[in-house]
Structures are given as C-alpha cells and as structure tokens.
Amino acid sequence: MRVAILAHEQFPDRAKTALGVLRYADHDVVAVLDRDNPGEQVSSFVPDVQDAPIVTGMDDLEPDEVETLLIGIAPIGGGLEESWRADVRTALEYGCDVVSGLHYFLSEDEEFARLAAENGCELRDVRRPPDDLTVSDGVAGDVDAEVILTVGTDCSVGKMTTTMELARDAREAGYDAAVIPTGQTGIMIEGWGNPVDRVVSDFTAGAVEEMIVERGDEYDYLFVEGQGSIVHPAYSAVTCGILHGAMPDRLVLCHDAGREAIHGYESFPLPSIPSYVDLYESLAAPVSEASVVAGALNTAGLDDDAARDALEEYAAELDAPATDVIRFGTDDLLEVLL
C-alpha cells in the first residue's frame, strides 16, 4: 500500500504514530507531509526507519502516486486541525482512503463524507470501536498460541515499540508470530485491531479477547500491545482489562530509565520494580497465571556505559533478563520468550 503520512510541524519528535508506521508498517511510504521541512528526507531526522521525501502537502504528490493518507500526529484533545483540511480534501479528490486516529471522526465530517462518497474512498477512523464488541467470555486462555503481553510502569515507556520489535524479530527468526494491536498506532501499523481505550468500559476485556480468539489458533505466538500502567491514576482500568482479557502466559515489563513519577501526574511516585512484578503477577493469577519473564528498558537518554549499568540494575530488580530493544536488539528477550 502506497501511503502518505501527515505530520505537519511535529515531525519527528512529536509524531509517534508517523514514526511507528515508518518503522514497523509494511506500507510503502511515498511522502511525509510536513510544511516545516519540505525538500528534506526522513533520513535526515531519523536514520533507522524507512526513508521518504518530506513535502509541503498532498498537492505536491500526483494522484497516481498514493493510495492512502494516514494522519500521523494527534494534537492534545484529538481534534482536527483546520490547517489539515486541505490535505484531507485533496487526498479524497485523488481517490485516496484516509486513515485517522483522531478523536474527531473524519467520517462524521460533512465535507469529508461527501467527498469520500463522490470519489469512492473510505474514511477509516481507527479510534471508533466496532459496534459489535461485548463483554468477555473468559476464553482467551483457550487459544493455542503462547500469549505475551507488554505491561508498563507508566504510559509512554515503550510498550508499543517493544511489542513491534519482538514480533518482527520473532518472525524474522522464523517463528509464527503476530501482533494484537490495542491502540491507534498499533492499529495503523497492523491495519486492524480494536482501540481498547475507546470501548465501553464493560467491554475492555472483551475487546481484547475478541482479537486473541480471532488470531490465537493461527499463530504460535501473539504479542499483545499493552496500554497504560496498573498503577496509573487515570488509565489503570484499560491496563487491567487488557491483562485479564488477553489472559497472557508471559509478561514483559517496560520501563523508562530514570522515570520516577507518573508522567503528568507527578505527585504519584512510581513504586519499586519488584512491587510492579508482584502486582502484575498477583492481579493476573486469579484469571490467568502469568509471570514477568523479561524487561524492556528505554535508555535513550543515557550513554552506552550508563545504559549498561541501568540495564544491569533493572535486570537485578526484575530477577529476569532485560534489555533496551532499540539500542541492543531483542535477542536476550526472545531467548526467554520463545
């Protein structure tokens, strides 16, 4: 699929979805739209992902160059920036589908809905849950696949990245592995999935179970993208629903080196690493026995020596192997997971 990714004024540092797609998706990215850096290349900013030219807008592309426009950024609040309207409009006039993870549903925008109908394109709001979700039946544990869930000490500590790296490397090593995407970036990368943080709260576990059951007998390993943290004052419900809905066999605890308090909720200090292990395992146990068997630490802010020290300490606290999957690869983790 030939895609353009909209990331105006936020590429690369505040464009988590755009970067995730560039790094992990199978799509052929023909351009990144960023009016701040036209004429540049993705590789000038981010060396280790798929390269693509950066252009000012959809007008810079020819209609036959691109099939889909992905909205690769999200402003706080998840609204539609009016300055993006022209790009979406042009995409639809070109006959492109448009995929968005905004809270603002493009399919409910009158102009976009009309243009999509006129041009035979699809407006795909990945944050709108399917209408047929329901409560969990408690059966995710029955699938053949080994289910591996990433859990975190906080939001934005690398759960999506770790999930994608592990699944990709497992597949490259010849294992039959799939990702179960639970958030907007994962869904855009994989091209399917339920946005678990947007479903009716009673259906949280059910929305995960439905995906596990759908894929669980086709693969040997399912890597489930975790969300939030079980100690997060706002988002723990989603974390708990994923833990019980996925009924994982193994957990990978993700953490950001040096983080000491919940991001944005600084009056809540993070508990110790061993107490996270106890909490995730004891909460999982009545529904599905699961152990924290590995750790993933984001050491991006540290030099190599400091990173190795941090990893050694993290592994000791976990009593399990740990690595930074971006910096040092996934070998140490896959060895205990597969």
Residue 137 near its own copies by CB under 8 A: yes
Owner of token pair 């996270």 = 276
Asked whether position 50 contacts its own copies by CB under 8 A, the answer is no
131, 260, 286, 305: which one binds its own copies (CB under 8 A): 286
Phi, psi of 285 (to 5 degrees): -50, -45
Applying CB under 8 A, does 213 fall inside the site for its own copies? no
Residues near its own copies (CB under 8 A), total: 44
Using the rule CB under 8 A, is 271 a contact of its own copies?
yes
Among 8, 27, 124, 232, contact with its own copies (rule: CB under 8 A): 232
Q: Is 201 in the site for its own copies (CB under 8 A)?
A: yes
Choice between 1 and 279, CB closer to its own copies: 279
Residue with tokens 């146990």: 285
Please tell me whether residue 235 binds its own copies under the rule CB under 8 A: yes
**Which among 13-21, 28-36, 159-167, 276-284 is the span making contact with its own copies, rule CB under 8 A?**
276-284
Select from 50, 119, 156, 236 the one that contacts its own copies (CB under 8 A): 236
The DSSP secondary-structure symbol of 320 reads S
For helices 204-215 and 236-246, the axis angle rounded to 10 degrees is: 30
Please name which of 312, 271, 272 lies closest in space to residue 295, comparing C-alpha atoms. Answer: 312
Among 230, 310, 315, 318, binds its own copies (CB under 8 A): 230
Beta-carbon neighbour count of residue 75 at 10 Å?
14
Structure tokens that stand for 209 in this block: 């179970």
Question: Where in 287-306 is the site for its own copies (CB under 8 A)?
Answer: 287
**Nearer Cβ to its own copies, position 53 or 141?**
141
Q: Are the C-beta atoms of residues 153 and 259 closer than 8 Å to each other?
A: yes
> Which H or E run includes 42?
helix 42-45
Helix residue spans in 264-303 (DSSP H): 273-284
Q: Does 72 bind its own copies (CB under 8 A)?
A: no
Integer distance in angstroms from the first to the last C-alpha of the chain? 31
Within the chain, what is the greatest distance between any pair of CA atoms?
Answer: 60
Please report whether residue 238 would count as binding its own copies according to CB under 8 A. yes
How do 97-100 and 123-125 pair as beta strands?
parallel
Q: Does 108 bind its own copies (CB under 8 A)?
A: no
44 binds its own copies (CB under 8 A): no
Contacts with its own copies, residue ranges (CB under 8 A): 135-138, 196-206, 230-241, 244-245, 247, 262, 265, 267-268, 270-271, 275, 278-279, 282-283, 285-287
